[in-house]
Amino acid sequence: MLESDIRTIVEAAVELRRHCDGVIVEGSGGLLEPLAGRLTFADLAVALDLPVIIVCPPGRGALNHAALTVAAAREAGLAIAGLAICGASPQPDRSERAVRAALERIATVLEVIPNDPARRR
């Protein structure tokens, strides 16, 4: 993907925003995931000028994942809308509750999405 390709995506998003209440753009990986060459999803997010929602797991590695991604977003100059915890237990144990509380200190938790085994079929 070249910078002209990002321009095409940005122009399409601007057009969508004129006709919609909002636009959600999902990256297929983290902010530092390469699109092509040196361009990353962070570059696309900057070009789109949209706040980011960081999706993170509910357990092991969540704090590191969230903290590193928030740091990368801030370094890129991106606004952080908050976190979405995806795959949470319907009845979280003490460890998962502690992770959620610690995540709240990193950024606002906007949503906790429960694990739903039925959706994996």
- Cα–Cα distance list, 40 to 18, 26, 27, 52, 105 (Å): 26, 13, 10, 14, 27
Give yes or no for residue 121 having a pLDDT over 60. Answer: no
Confidence of residue 8 (pLDDT cuts 50, 70, 90): confident
pLDDT tens across 47-82, in order?
Answer: 998 899 999 999 888 999 999 999 999 999 999 999
pTM: 0.84
Domain regions of the chain by residue span:
1-50, 52-121
Q: Which residue has the tokens 């998003």?
A: 13
pLDDT tens across 76-95, in order?
Answer: 999 999 999 999 988 899 99
pLDDT, residue 120, reads 55
